[in-house]
């Protein structure tokens, strides 16, 4: 886990920020993207996930929730 002093801000423009931090994107992740990723993955019971990207971390939370079942 990164300490506060080690955190790095992701540099995105305004349009990218709005796109990745949008409630509609969260809904799309939950309804479509998550099922596709789980079908593609051979991992079924995981405790830790690393998502590299920008956004609010909603995708990671959803993946952990589904893959812990």
Give 27's contacts (C-beta < 8 A, 6+ positions apart). none
Ramachandran assignment for 6, one of left (phi > 0), alpha (psi -120 to 50 degrees), beta (any other): alpha
Residue 29 within a domain: yes
Looking at the structure of the chain, the number of domains it has is: 1
Residue 6 within a domain: no
Residue 3 within a domain: no
Domain of 37?
A: 13-67
Record the pTM: 0.58
Half-sphere exposure for 58 (CA within 13 Å, toward CB): 16
Residue 1 within a domain: no
pLDDT in tens, 11-66: 778 898 888 888 998 899 888 888 887 788 777 676 666 777 667 888 878 877 77
pLDDT in tens, 32-45: 888 887 788 777 67
Residue 36 within a domain: yes
């Amino acid at each position: 886990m990164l300490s506060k002093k080690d955190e790095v801000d992701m540099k995105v423009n305004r349009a990218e920020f709005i796109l990745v931090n949008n409630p509609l994107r969260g809904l799309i992740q939950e309804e479509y993207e998550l099922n596709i990723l789980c079908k593609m993955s051979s991992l079924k019971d995981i405790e830790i996930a690393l998502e590299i990207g920008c956004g609010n971390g909603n995708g990671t939370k959803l993946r952990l929730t589904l893959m812990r079942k």
